[in-house]
Structure 1
């Protein structure tokens, strides 16, 4: 190896963020640390020294609390043990090998600056220092840092909860070194799986500036139109393309103290904002805050749960009262309109107060976003992504505006401003009503998104990390730049390849069905794709640019055959699914599953039969057929039996076969779905050798390269062979475990009956322990048990209930 090569390798290693320190073991700090270990990144969690013997007691308590939170911040509870606890008095030496320090203590400028003074002497010359502040001035925070450290300081604002909220705002000062920002953005995007938006150092940055203004607008307009919390949440939830929890419930989840803090930041630091009249704390929010009712964290906020009932706060009586969610039919009908132009036109023209309310809150946010874009963001794309990623909106403000017709909506907003209906009399900025945006009829174009500073449409970031994002979602008005080639398609599947420099000799097959379910046509399409790959390509990837991987068998597509011919008519369909997964397993090219989101039932059975799996961290995998009164019938139990035998054969200890079967069996019997890809690996749906990718948009990139690498390494299909099963002794043991679940109330009587079938198949049927069987034997057992259950009226009741309501029926 030459000296030049050695230097290059050392530079590459030294520029990677290998270890992270998080300062502050509160709600945000602890959860940021948790997400680091989710990604396999070593992390040290600091807080103040405790007064008791264990000086790390504060951190230990925070780590223990991580295991109790819902939604779970950890991909697996075992990961909590990988967080290193530390305190500022004894452990500053642990900062020596940390490449990134994230400060996440309380939102007090003086407290943060005092901490920086303490930490600065212990930091290495390469360490990046970032504050997780939600709105304090990054430049002000930097003032106490030594001059040689200021160029390595910036803001890095995670949204709560850090594991699930995609947005991270990256906020530089005038002194922050650009190359370090690029390094940090690359780390956040690829290694933590985040969506990064670069924000300007203005109060509350982008997400909270626009999002909290939107909440204040909702509060203002709700009072004006006389709406209750529940009515508002119904109107501003999924029907409006926003988070299911709407506005008031979302505030409770975030925490009313956090909301109040952000609002007060706007009051204090934006005295000249033309919309400042709506920055006052509403009386109900002020009352709840003053009385410690801070939302979900305290058990009461705008709402309080009492038994099974949800009560809402009533300011007049200062009591919690029964909810009233009556919403006008006219408003709901308008919100159901799919054409954005017709929807906004109908909302604005309606005389219904609730429809007028929805138009008002949309208009206010569009107005505010346009007025302040140049102040808070580099371009319109950053603002829209902040609202999508940070507040769960399906579309950002400018996307809504553009989709509904830029010129018409601009005229409506201007008319409302002139009529005194808007929250501010400030006119729309010139760029919104004339010039290139007006001519293009929107801020997002094929050339990029509008940059008001430079007066041009600006393209996407050129950072290399974004070249890994194949098929990432586009904003309204953007155009795809990935020039894929369609090889074959029918009504059910699409077979395609990637352009150079991506592997072009790897075939990708995607499903066209809703939720990517496995209809008979999709099953045939997968078999077709395997044959195409064997004939003309090096490998095959099964995956999609959107979620989920697959929600399982397409019950609606199968239902007509069942109604005409009963369970017997389903046998050929079931056999075809089994043949399909076997075709995938024994394909003469490596087949790689690119998994993200749900992989349930048949989707799970398909991926376990692939040669390899690349899974997004947020993958929820499980055999859930028990929930509709069936057992896995497309090779899932056959896989479990075979895999248990393989694991036993690979060990030197005398561990019984049943020990490898047990967790898999109980997971399938309880219709357990993994809480993450890591959890799926622990259950057995993923293997240690499978890749887990933190950024969902990188899954296809990694899968295509993994498939090509396997082919070039000389991969060969496994040879079919017999393997031992647990037999009747295993069935008896598993039934005893299942009986305990029934007695404990975890499964119903009929669940137990289904699980008996499941145990019988997994253990190979009524044979002696250790009997050697092949896959065909187990597939036959699966199929017969599946069809026997399908003929049972209770199973049919469950299936029909699922089709009608989308929820499992317990009978």
Structure 2
């Protein structure tokens, strides 16, 4: 294939792929390629001997079922995997199992081949040679190596092969982790890099960083170094594993897994492999010394304590006689396990009380500089920052690639250079110098030029440090940053719970930013204010935010307080306010498009349902889950579910009102809501019956706000008119009887408790439209009144209040 032919390819033209290797990563990557709509051939080696089960069946090594055993087993697990590998379990049909002997020639029919075999250079070279023998010229080939030399793998391959070859290092699990490191060799065509980047970003929804072909690339290089210095400092300062994790987790804007829990998840043997890879390939004596195998890690690995995969590492989980799990932690001096200990200190407490990763880091270092916790935090942080700075130009060309790699690959809230800015670049470098540390020359030069930070913001643009001065971050046309817009003064109004932001082209976005983005009075007031503002001055409204989750539901704390105090008028006022706010949103004479992401539960779903269209991210966990706390949806959720059931019933009848079967669509939605089901993906929300024909799932989460804005403008250009108040045909008392019979059957079978049955009965009453005749058309307000009445009665139940209290205290549902 010529260079010109290569250039004409785009991400949309890649329809067929092959994955070589059906282990954990290979199967995960194959599943995610299927998520992107590709047909995937999953190949592995032919087994050399029969299993006991195969022998009993009288099978031979020549049988297809035996020869495809490894990849077929991976495909079988794929449909049932937890957490789910596929957005929709039915998409497992897109993955075809095979083997490298019988199906190697099929590689000539695919557009992209991903090699994911064991991390051994000789084996990878052998597999790549086989791939070259079968692929057609111009076919993309990438390796999923986590740190082997990409150039060394391609040795012996033709120039044409090497031009279309690079590493695409996915992080585990491939569906959920955002980072993909694309690593070219000197022979890789720029067009190949561009196409792999487009594929990973646009089709797979990933964040791509361009890394250099160095040991362990970017994220694992920096991450493993941080783990090494943390392990050493833990021993130096005499800290427990709990103390070290308390200081290297959320206190620094990092995940709760922190250091030692992360090590257990990764695998202690895996870290030793990473450490060995850096040490053996490094030419720097100081770096080699840092990456010497820690005696403690080597000892634990020799004892078979590899972390979570063996049940014990720095922590271990045990089940007590009462059936409850408990966590024990390792005592570093004796290597024995003991009860996990709570840790506290003025330093840790200061970090906990600060808001935001930047403030937490400053508080952690400044709370009590003489305390061993502060000294530990400073020691590990400064070493990591200095090491990272020394790698600029070695592992990546720019600081932004490094920061993104750590945010996307290790879930840090701030990358190393963003964190350095947060603690004060000038002040921290001055302290490092006083302590005798060597500052990388380019950092010294940067400060000498008068710069006081690695990043700066001007208007809607963010600029980052480069050798030639500040350079603007590359803008992506399909990505809108609310943070950048707010920094540029594009906020129309802001309240403690939400802000209305100008997206341009006369479209605004309502962004929730209450605690956990929960819906309370402040958010509802902002919704009503937005409705008035948009009706007067704008073409349409987007509902979206950049929080960890779109919305986890309504503010339970306030509801519980009012219910426990018997303030029923106050509870009713809250519900009516919620319902009326959603109705106003639905009746807005401008188009509304919701773009939820991640957890969108209870009230979060009810805030989306009034929108003219919902554009979900793939990782949207969407569900009306109120029954889990002993309640039913009462912000319009039941009313909208009744309307959905009626629409589906009428559609199934072909529009013939005299032959409408209300029961089947009602049963499905009742089950979804009664069992508090939430989707495992945006696509799965359709299976649960919570999406309408006009709703859709966007493959790239980062583009959700831009796509929602585009949808608003399309609706506006089409001559948008507010939907009229509708009359909803309901299943009535006959439909309610069927639902209640199912509830009673489950109670008698012991599948649900008496309180579950009570909740189910009230839900049935509301969804079916009460005791009216089947087929009766009722108003939206009538259904809202039923919602409110049922909700109020459930709030008065002791067991419901117990469920609410338990969820607020533990974050877990209570079955009572």
Fold shared by both chains (TM-score > 0.5):
yes
5 Å-filtered alignment, 1:183-202, equals 183-202=195-214
1:109, distance to aligned residue in structure 2 (A): 0.8
Partners of 2:219 and 2:227 in 1: how far apart? 12
From 735, 757, 760, give the equivalent of 2:765: 760
Deviation at 1:269, TM superposition (A): 0.7
Of 361-370 and 660-669, more deviation after overlay is shown by 660-669
Paired position in structure 2 for 1:460 = 473
> Superposed, which structure 2 residues align to 1:705-720 within 5 Å?
705-720=710-725
Match of 1:359 among 378, 401, 413: 378
| C-alpha contact 1:60 1:85 (8 A) present in aligned 2 | yes
SS across alignment from 2:392: helix
- Name 2:736's counterpart in structure 1: 731
Which of 289, 296, 309 does residue 326 from structure 2 map onto?
309
1:660-675 pair list within 5 angstroms: 660-675=665-680
Q: Which runs of 5+ in 1 are unaligned?
A: 1-6, 419-426, 474-478
Q: Distance in 1 between matches of 2:344 and 2:541?
A: 51
Match of 2:45 among 21, 44, 48: 48
* 1:48-197 matched pairs, under 5 angstroms: 48-50=45-47, 51=61, 52-54=63-65, 55-197=67-209
Match in the other structure for 2:698: 693
Shift of 1:597: 2.2
TM-score, with structure 1 as normaliser = 0.89
Pick aligned residue for 1:496 from 491, 496, 501? 501
CA contact (8 A) 1:517 1:551 kept: yes
| Counterpart position of 1:39 | 36
Report the alpha carbon displacement of residue 456 of structure 1 after superposing the two structures with TM: 3.1
In structure 2, the partner of 1:604 is 605
C-alpha distance in 2, partners of 1:779/1:392?
Answer: 41
Question: Does the Cα contact within 8 Å between 1:801 and 1:807 map onto a contact in 2?
Answer: yes
Counterpart-to-counterpart distance in 1, 2:37 and 2:605: 24
In the alignment, is residue 28 of structure 1 matched against residue 21 of structure 2? no
Partner Cα distance (2:15, 2:487) in 1: 32
Residues 769, 783 of structure 2: 8 Å contact kept: yes
In structure 1, the partner of 2:574 is 573
1:314-348 residue CA offsets vs partner (Å, 9 max, x unmatched): 67766x52234242423423433634675354378
- Kindly provide the CA deviation profile for residues 552-573 of structure 1, in whole angstroms up to 9, marking residues without a partner as x: 2234566777688711233233
Using the alignment, how far apart are the partners of 2:603 and 2:352 within structure 1? Answer: 32
State the match for 2:392 in structure 1: 373
Cα 1:363/1:584, change in 2 over 3 Å:
same
Contact residue 348 and residue 359 of structure 1 kept, 8 A? no
Report the Cα offset of residue 278 of structure 1.
Answer: 2.9
Structure 1 residues 347 and 779: alpha-carbon distance in aligned structure 2, compared to 1, 3 A threshold: closer
Q: Sort the Cα spacing of 1:152 and 1:555 in 2 relative to 1 into closer, same or farther, 3 A.
A: same
Question: Take 1:703 and 1:492, find their aligned partners in 2: how far apart are those partners?
Answer: 21
Contact kept, 8 Å, 2:617 with 2:699, in 1: the verdict is yes
Paired with 1:496 and 1:86, the residues of 2 have a C-alpha distance of 52
Q: CA deviation at 1:295?
A: 2.5
CA distance in 2, matches of 1:458, 1:535: 39
CA distance in 2, matches of 1:140, 1:393: 31
Aligned to 1:281: 293
Deviation at 1:544, TM superposition (A): 2.1
Secondary structure (helix, strand or coil) at the match of 1:677 reads coil
Q: Indicate conservation of the 8 Å contact 1:231/1:324, yes or no.
A: no
741-750 or 286-295: bigger deviation: 741-750
Shift of residue 579, structure 1, vs aligned partner: 2.6
- Mapping 1:620-631, distance limit 5 Å: 620-631=621-632
Check conservation: 1:407, 1:438, Cα contact below 8 A: no
Q: How does 1:627-666 map to 2 (within 5 A)?
A: 627-652=628-653, 656-666=661-671
Q: If the length of structure 2 is used for normalisation, what is the TM-score? A: 0.89
TM-aligned CA deviation for residue 703 of structure 1: 0.6
Contact 1:152 1:176 in 2 (8 A): yes
Cα gap change, 1:298/1:62 in structure 2, threshold over 3 Å: closer, same or farther? farther
Q: CA separation of 1:258/1:736 partners in 2, compared to 1, >3 Å: closer, same or farther?
A: farther
Contact 1:727 1:771 in 2 (8 A): yes
Q: Would you say the 8 A contact 1:230–1:323 is kept in 2?
A: no
Q: Distance in 1 between matches of 2:310 and 2:81?
A: 14
Following superposition of structure 1 onto structure 2, how do residues 222-621 of structure 1 map, counting pairs within 5 Å? Answer: 222-307=234-319, 308-313=325-330, 321-336=337-352, 338=354, 339=359, 342-343=362-363, 345-346=365-366, 349-352=369-372, 354-417=373-436, 427-436=438-447, 439-446=450-457, 448-451=463-466, 454-461=467-474, 466-471=476-481, 485-490=490-495, 492-499=497-504, 504-556=505-557, 566-621=567-622
TM-fit CA distance, 1:30: 0.7
Superposed CA deviations along residues 178-199 of structure 1, whole A, max 9, x for unmatched, are: 1221222122122211111111
SS of structure 1 residue aligned to 2:567: helix
- Alignment of 1:214 with 2:226, yes or no, is yes
Which shifted more, 249-258 or 698-707?
A: 249-258
Are 1:493 and 1:512, in contact at CA under 8 Å, matched by a contact in 2?
A: yes
CA distance in 2, matches of 1:662, 1:810: 23
**Displacement of 1:647:** 1.2
- 1:391 and 1:73 map into 2 onto residues whose CA distance is 19
Match of 2:56 in 1: none
Match of 2:51 in 1: none
Q: Residues 482 and 340 (structure 1 numbering): CA distance in 2 closer, same or farther, change over 3 Å?
A: closer
Q: Give 1:167 shift.
A: 1.2
SS of 1:458's equivalent in the other structure is strand
3-state SS of 1:21 partner: strand
Q: Distance in 1 between matches of 2:412 and 2:425?
A: 19
Deviations along 1:329-375, whole A, 9 cap, x unmatched? 234234336346753543782243x3332222112211211222231
Would the alpha carbon gap of residues 689 and 125 (structure 1) be closer, same or farther in structure 2, given more than 3 Å must change?
A: farther
**Per-residue Cα deviation, 1:193-251 (whole angstroms, up to 9, x for no partner):** 11111111111111011100111112211222233333322332222321212222212
2:364/2:374 contact within 8 Å kept = no
Does 718-727 or 145-154 show the bigger shift?
A: 718-727
Aligned length in residues = 781
Deviation per residue, 1:412-464 (Å, 9 max, x gap)? 2233345xxxxxxxx2212223445762212223473223xx443333235xx
What RMSD in Å do the two structures reach over aligned CA positions? 3.0
Aligned equivalent of 2:53: none
Contact 1:484–1:498, Cα closer than 8 Å, also in 2:
no
| In structure 2, distance between residues paired with 1:587 and 1:712 | 16
Aligned position for 1:424? none
Mapped partners of 1:291, 1:737: distance in 2? 53
| More deviation, 754-763/689-698 | 689-698
User: 1:3 is matched with which residue?
Assistant: none
Distance 1:33 1:371 in 2: 36
Q: Separation in 2 of the partners of 1:29 and 1:774?
A: 53
In structure 1, how many angstroms separate the alpha carbons of the residues matched to 2:360 and 2:576? Answer: 45
Structure 2 match to 1:794: 799
Residue of structure 2 in register with 1:781 after alignment: 786
Where does the alignment leave 5 or more consecutive residues of structure 2 unmatched? 48-60, 320-324
Residues 529/336 of structure 1: CA separation in 2 closer, same or farther (3 Å cut): closer
